[in-house]
Amino acid sequence: MEAVSEFMGLVESGNALPQVRTIQGPSADPVAVVDGRQVLVFCSSNYLGLSTHPEVKRAVADAVMEYGVGANGSRLISGTTDLHVDLERTTARMKETEAAIAFPTGFMANTGTITALAYLPYFARMAGLPLKSGAPEMVVISDALNHASIVEGIDAARGKHAYYEHCDLDSLSAKLEENHGKRLLIVTDGIFSMDGDIAPLPGILELAAHHDATVLLDDAHATGVLGATGQGTLEHFGLKGDVLQMGTYSKSFGALGGFVATDEATAEYLRLAARSYMFSGAMPPCLAAGILKAMEIAEREPQRRVRVLRHRDYVAFGLEDAGFETLGDGTPIIPVVIGDDDTAALISQELFERGLLAPCVRWPAVARGHSRIRITVMASHERDHLDRLIEALTDAGKRFGVL
């Protein structure tokens, strides 16, 4: 472990160690106590403000009394309850697919799905069920800025892969041409978590159809937010298509877990071949109950989605008027470009001292020299909360020479 100690010493001396703050109480409310200080939270993914909703908490508490704390088994042994089945049916209905499969986390949904799809011909031979179609080797083609769970899934698949330049359809087309004749899986985030921009999905689906490629869409940050009813990126663009839609229950629905919404055959295949599903303890039933209630509230109260997007515009336009460069395509994620790693850390610290929790994102989450203050807004924020953020960030930007 000497090498680990040496490396961590270098990280600490270079002031590159991420600062982790301790939150006393719920971290999903607009106001929280952090390291003993009351602050406004601008880094939660609880976009619709449902994590601490009284009905959601009551649903979880009632389920704990009936089902206990955990599932105490994998989904294929003793971990599937009627709540898990209801959750998957409700998710499929929301995404307008034949079926859905729920994973304990979104990270596990991506890694398990990518590896299972890439492993198909080997899995079939191992099971003594060789495919008549042959199923040539799969090549995974991924956006260069996709989430770490996708990168991990690609690495775990131990197969051929390629990365295309971020949201660049010409680059994607070239990678597809280079791998003509292979089974092709295109993987893209819907909303990119560090930049807040939206994938050019119409062009991606057009290229996929031309090259007979499958598309896996990571809709973690889009589900519940984008589209006329919150279905996500497909609905945002007015699209329908045979797309594997991955998503999470830890963003708009305020809990924990991931899913893949797809056709019935693919969902059942993933139950057999996705190791992160088969060999993990199941999501606690009480969480499934809370998610179901959160999905019900999100459907009946569409104003939550409208409110969070209005908050986004108010903050983004206010910061741009002050002179900041912001990234994003109208999503609840508003990265404020700072650049210098140390300056971003100092600005984040000053915001905290003024009662605002808005951490800086720097290496290893983004490349060195590309640090930013990554703001996320929630439907539960009030207008005066947003004004305090704009004012404090503007003051800090002037003080540290960013503006």
User: Does 193 participate in catalysis according to the annotation?
Assistant: yes
66-81 mean pLDDT? 94
Per cent of the chain over pLDDT 90 is 83
Whether the per-residue pLDDT at 89 is higher than 70: the answer is yes
Q: What is the pLDDT of residue 25?
A: 85
Confidence of residue 125 (pLDDT cuts 50, 70, 90): confident
- The single residue of 84, 161, 175, 221 carrying the catalytic annotation is 221
Whether the per-residue pLDDT at 137 is higher than 90: the answer is no
Range in 3-12, 254-263, 388-397 with the lowest mean pLDDT = 3-12
- The single residue of 27, 51, 142, 193 carrying the catalytic annotation is 193
Confidence of residue 130 (pLDDT cuts 50, 70, 90): confident
User: Does 51 participate in catalysis according to the annotation?
Assistant: no
Q: What is the pLDDT of residue 42?
A: 97
- 244-248 vs 37-41, strand pairing mode: unpaired
Domain ranges of the chain: 13-42+302-399, 54-300
Answer yes or no: CATH 3.90.1150.10 is held by domain 13-42+302-399: yes
Residue 359 and residue 365: Cα distance in Å, rounded? 12
Higher pLDDT: 322 or 133? It is 322
Q: What is the pLDDT of residue 134?
A: 67
- The single residue of 236, 251, 370, 385 carrying the catalytic annotation is 251
The model's pLDDT over 342-368, given as tens digits with 9 standing for 90+, comes to 899 999 999 999 999 999 988 777 777
The model's pLDDT over 140-174, given as tens digits with 9 standing for 90+, comes to 999 999 999 999 999 998 889 999 999 999 999 99
Which among 115, 120, 118, 108 has a CA at the least distance from the CA of 148? 108
Phi-psi sector, 339: left (phi>0), alpha (psi -120 to 50), beta: left
Grouping H, G, I as helix, E, B as strand and the rest as coil, residue 255 is: coil
Which among 393, 380, 206 has a CA at the least distance from the CA of 301? 380
300-307 mean pLDDT? 98
Residue with tokens 């989430």: 147
Q: What fold, for 54-300?
A: Aspartate Aminotransferase; domain 2 (3.40.640)
Whether the per-residue pLDDT at 30 is higher than 90: the answer is yes
The model's pLDDT over 180-222, given as tens digits with 9 standing for 90+, comes to 889 999 999 999 999 999 999 999 999 999 999 999 999 999 9
Q: Verify cis geometry, omega within 30 degrees of 0, for the bond prior to 54.
A: no
The model's pLDDT over 310-321, given as tens digits with 9 standing for 90+, comes to 999 999 999 999
Residue 321 CB-density burial (10 A; 0-12 exposed, 13-18 middle, 19+ buried): exposed
